[in-house]
Structure 1
Amino acid sequence: MLGYWRTHDDYQLWLKSKLISLVPEHEAEIRFYGSLVEKVYVLNLDPLKEIVAPMYSLIGRPAHNQPELFRALVVMLHCKTQDPTKFVAVLRSSLVLAAICGFEGQTPGVGTFYDLLARLWLADAPQKAVKVPPSKGRKRPKSGDKLKPKHPGIIKKLVDKALQGRVIEKRPERVLQAILKECAVIPSSKLGLLGNPDNLAISGDGSPVRTGASPRGKKLCQCPAQGIYHCQCERSFTDPTANWGWDSYHEQWFYGHTLYSITSADSFNDLPIYLRFVQGSRHDSVTFVFAWVELLKLYPEFKFSKALLDSAHDVYDIYRLLNANRTQAFIDLNKRNKGHNIYSGPLTVNDNGVPICIANLPMLNWGFNNDRCRIKWRCPHYKDRSKCPKSPECSPSKYGRVVYTKPDWDLRIFTPIPRGSKAWKAIYARRSTVERTFKRILVDYKIENARCRSNKRWFWQATIAALNQHLDAQVALLKPSILSEVGIKTISKAA
């Protein structure tokens, strides 16, 4: 059962008094951890209690220090440590670090941390898999290309299920996603760090994460003793969900998982609002369907007005999925899909959906009519029709030739804000915010160094790193004065 839970206000008061008592002997160490002290001071774990309470029995021995344990995981990632075993040793050697986490007296052991990690993951502990060594199996993609989905037509099937409101998949990580929401995303939104929640633009993408497990596994057969070293017998694999994927940026194969993130594109702190780990071979367009359905369920209080995605998501069914939520799609065109538009009307249009007049010139966009849900296009020489070589054959109107296009003719090419326009490019430029999210999580907080061997451990690491990222932005905005209140005059940029 869940034991005593110290509230955030009580923790703040206790931390101040504890640091004041430690200042005479440990001032230098407190100053060194100055940025960490400010971070945990603004981290409100009160919403965490309601989320994790159903994970504990109503009877039995009380589980104490649960908010302190979670806070310690945040501290661990801040200190660029990924192994709880090593962090426990560091924690026991530092009174200041133990106080920052909120521990009084003896600090918890390694098993206590792993128990918390397992308790909040809604699936059994991953077991070693016994199987034939996996192979890449598919042809190496061309330069800049990504692997195609394994099953043709799978995106259409998934989108059809999503639009019917059917549950696509259960997720063992849903408790951690709720924690990220309540303890990081919602506080950042209230501070205005995400943008307008009623008109939010999001950016989504995937990034490869190499597992610490071997792709060759451990041999269980006796073939090596017989001089056979390249057999296809079953082997033991410590990361059962990892497989081969294609890293299109580095143009090489990798063995592991894909971290998919949806980031607020309006956030200039590149703050993630949703994370998901999938197999390395899964295509980003497939992952997005799952992610989008889960995102809408997770954040009913947000209105997602724009979705900024790369060319891997350039699939008609994804446009259909976004349009059902009245979300404008800003998706880069996939070169492989050139010439495969579904529009076959009387107008001649270019790849960006701009009508071409009889003089073979692109017409000028004259805005989007919300009432009639159509885009107005005007003659490129409307100011001086005498400059047009086809003027005698064109419209006799003084206003010039006008045509209209409707997005529902072809959601991919007739976008409300025309492709290639300055407005479209300005909005799409914010897509790179998700790339910076990956840099913060994987590089700055060094979770790639963890070399984990399970989806559970990877997701825990990424979630705590994302929470730290939100706290960094909140501290920069709020500028808490706890250090000056406990008698520390200078703030070190270390730690």
Structure 2
Amino acid sequence: MYLLQPTLFSFEELLKFEPETRLQKVLSVLDLSPALTVVKKAVVGPKGHCVGNMISALVAKQLEQIPTVAALVKRLSEDLRCGFSLSASVPSESTFSRLIKKLTVTDEKNGTPSVLKEIFDNLVKNARAMGLIGSECIAIDSSKIDAYEKSRPKKDLKGDKTANWGAKRDTHGNQITWFGYKAHIAVDCQSELPIALMVTPANTHDAKLAIPLIELVNQSLADARKPKYYAMDMGYDSKEIYSEVMTKFKGQALIPINPRGSKDHPEGCDFDGTPICSMGQRMVYWGSDTKTGTNKYRCPHVMGKYDCPHGSAWCSQSSYGLVVKTKVEDDPRMNCLPARGTRNWQKLYNKRTAVERCFGRLKQHLGANSLRTRGLEKVTLHITLSCIALLAGSIAVAKLKNIKQVA
């Protein structure tokens, strides 16, 4: 059972405002100085237009779920000013296209538009400074993004910067396929806000993006406490991920065991790492020691979970019964801390639903899945703008609440 986690605020509160008020509050928390320095020499039309106002208009496009740039230009000339003077003309569609081409220059390390990445990172730092973003648990997942272009056979698809075919199972276990992309994000479970994002063709496996996303998370939270837990679904069940999270990032991966790899477990242990006694019964979990990184298990006969015909003396002469301790460092995949299957482990893992709600907001309120553009760079720009709008809107709501509390 998934339980909804209480949040500090709700992004939906922002949607209750009038469109003009909502847009004003979101744009007021944006720092567009990184974009102004990089795109200063961009072609902005014969009459000249403010690049900051144009980027604000692109954020407003996501917030108001305006489908195309042409529709955005029409709204700007009618009621959506975004800082443009009432007496002056608004940028044309071709002017926006030239600016978008400038903004789609990507960062080679993570594929995120470098200009917008800096704006995105600044918003994450501001949210962290305000106490909105915590550092205990991070949820990582991907979501399908349907392509705008016409689907093509796999044999005709070449390169890693175009839409491709993807397949995954939905929440009901049904296999679904789509032609398009994947949005991979890391979300803070406390605020349900994105901290890092990457966009790939739909055929990219989720597990390949786990470590790069965690690296981006640690870069974004460079001045803060590092996350302790990284919650992911069983699609990320890989020995490499467990090992990297523990050794490199000093954290713990919370991932259910994938049934396809459940047979690949150490001798003397069950599919989830629980030790098995000499009679083939699962031993009883009896606490963890965080200092030494060990889990303790006791004899199921002594604990009253199994009536052993040989009694506890079969395995141990002590009345306390046989005790087995497992160390996380010996096998990070099988030995979790807290132990997999315990109430504490499940409580932490349930926080993973924060990433599902984040995707829900991005798609339902910020048009993340309503593509009207082609190519990986432009799709990445589209998703990044949606995440910027979500972060800015959430910060605006938090600031408004603080003002009301002071008043």
Could you tell me how far 1:356 is from its partner in structure 2?
2.6
Q: Distance in 2 between matches of 1:386 and 1:416?
A: 25
Pairing of 1:120-131 with structure 2 (within 5 A):
120-122=103-105
Q: Structure 1 residue aligned with 2:264, among 332, 337, 340?
A: 340
Q: Distance in 2 between matches of 1:354 and 1:481?
A: 47
- In structure 1, the residue matched to 2:27 is 40
Change (3 A) 1:353 1:384: closer
Q: Distance in 1 between matches of 2:103 and 2:108?
A: 21
**Letter paired with 1:357:** C
Could you tell me how far 1:216 is from its partner in structure 2?
3.7
Pairing of 1:111-190 with structure 2 (within 5 A):
111-122=94-105, 169=109, 171=111, 173-182=113-122, 184-190=123-129
Change (3 A) 1:170 1:460: closer
Q: Structure 2 residue aligned with 1:353, among 273, 282, 286?
A: 273
Pairing of 1:64-143 with structure 2 (within 5 A):
65-94=50-79, 97-98=80-81, 101-104=82-85, 105-106=87-88, 107-122=90-105
Q: Structure 2 residue aligned with 1:314, among 218, 221, 237?
A: 237
For 2:223, what is the secondary structure of its paired residue? coil
Could you tell me how far 1:385 is from its partner in structure 2?
11
Can you list the C-alpha shifts for 1:251-310, whole angstroms capped at 9, x where unaligned? 23321111111111222xx21111111011111111223323343344423412111111
Could you tell me how far 1:172 is from its partner in structure 2?
5.5
**Letter paired with 2:51:** Q
Q: 1:446 and 2:386 equivalent?
A: no
**Letter paired with 1:404:** K
Can you list the C-alpha shifts for 1:426-458, whole angstroms capped at 9, x where unaligned? 111111211222221123222322332122221
Could you tell me how far 1:401 is from its partner in structure 2?
2.7
**Letter paired with 2:59:** V
For 2:183, what is the secondary structure of its paired residue? strand
For 2:389, what is the secondary structure of its paired residue? helix
Q: Structure 2 residue aligned with 1:200, among 136, 139, 154?
A: 136
Q: Distance in 1 between matches of 2:402 and 2:214?
A: 39
- Whether the 8 Å CA contact 2:35–2:116 is kept in 1: the answer is no
Q: 1:259 and 2:145 equivalent?
A: no
For 2:369, what is the secondary structure of its paired residue? helix
Could you tell me how far 1:169 is from its partner in structure 2?
4.3
Q: Distance in 2 between matches of 1:386 and 1:120?
A: 64
Can you list the C-alpha shifts for 1:123-169, whole angstroms capped at 9, x where unaligned? 5xxxxxxxxxxxxxxxxxxxxxxxxxxxxxxxxxxxxxxxxxxx994
Could you tell me how far 1:393 is from its partner in structure 2?
2.3
Unaligned 5+ runs, structure 2: 1-16
For 1:205, what is the secondary structure of its paired residue? strand
Q: Structure 1 residue aligned with 2:344, among 400, 423, 428?
A: 423
Unaligned 5+ runs, structure 1: 1-29, 124-166, 218-231, 483-495
- Whether the 8 Å CA contact 2:110–2:212 is kept in 1: the answer is no
Q: Distance in 1 between matches of 2:18 and 2:200?
A: 40
Change (3 A) 1:62 1:411: farther
Change (3 A) 1:305 1:427: same
- In structure 1, the residue matched to 2:9 is none
Q: Distance in 2 between matches of 1:480 and 1:432?
A: 25
**Letter paired with 1:477:** A
Pairing of 1:216-295 with structure 2 (within 5 A):
216=152, 241-249=162-170, 251-267=175-191, 270-295=192-217
- Whether the 8 Å CA contact 1:180–1:467 is kept in 2: the answer is yes
**Letter paired with 1:454:** G
For 2:230, what is the secondary structure of its paired residue? strand
- In structure 2, the residue matched to 1:13 is none
For 2:228, what is the secondary structure of its paired residue? strand
Q: Distance in 2 between matches of 1:87 and 1:247?
A: 34
RMSD of Structure 2 on Structure 1 (CA):
3.3
- Whether the 8 Å CA contact 1:207–1:258 is kept in 2: the answer is yes
**Letter paired with 1:375:** N
For 2:131, what is the secondary structure of its paired residue? coil
- In structure 2, the residue matched to 1:151 is none
- In structure 1, the residue matched to 2:4 is none
Change (3 A) 1:473 1:31: closer
Change (3 A) 1:376 1:216: closer
- Whether the 8 Å CA contact 1:259–1:275 is kept in 2: the answer is yes
For 1:479, what is the secondary structure of its paired residue? helix
- Whether the 8 Å CA contact 2:297–2:323 is kept in 1: the answer is yes
Can you list the C-alpha shifts for 1:221-254, whole angstroms capped at 9, x where unaligned? xxxxxxxxxxx9x89x9x9611121142252332
Q: 1:372 and 2:292 equivalent?
A: yes
Change (3 A) 1:350 1:294: same
Can you list the C-alpha shifts for 1:318-345, whole angstroms capped at 9, x where unaligned? 111111211101011111101112x34x
* Greater Cα shift, 314-323 or 445-454: 445-454
- Whether the 8 Å CA contact 2:49–2:91 is kept in 1: the answer is no
Query: Percent identity between the aligned chains?
Result: 25
- In structure 1, the residue matched to 2:3 is none
For 1:366, what is the secondary structure of its paired residue? strand
Could you tell me how far 1:315 is from its partner in structure 2?
0.9
**Letter paired with 2:292:** R
Q: Distance in 2 between matches of 1:93 and 1:247?
A: 43
Q: Distance in 1 between matches of 2:223 and 2:336?
A: 26
Could you tell me how far 1:180 is from its partner in structure 2?
1.0
- Whether the 8 Å CA contact 2:284–2:303 is kept in 1: the answer is no
Can you list the C-alpha shifts for 1:372-415, whole angstroms capped at 9, x where unaligned? 33222234465789976512324333444322111122211111
Q: May I ask how many residue pairs the two structures share in their alignment? A: 375
- Whether the 8 Å CA contact 1:377–1:402 is kept in 2: the answer is yes
**Letter paired with 1:243:** N
Q: Distance in 2 between matches of 1:32 and 1:172?
A: 29
Could you tell me how far 1:190 is from its partner in structure 2?
2.1
Can you list the C-alpha shifts for 1:342-363, whole angstroms capped at 9, x where unaligned? x34xxx2222212233454433
- In structure 2, the residue matched to 1:229 is none
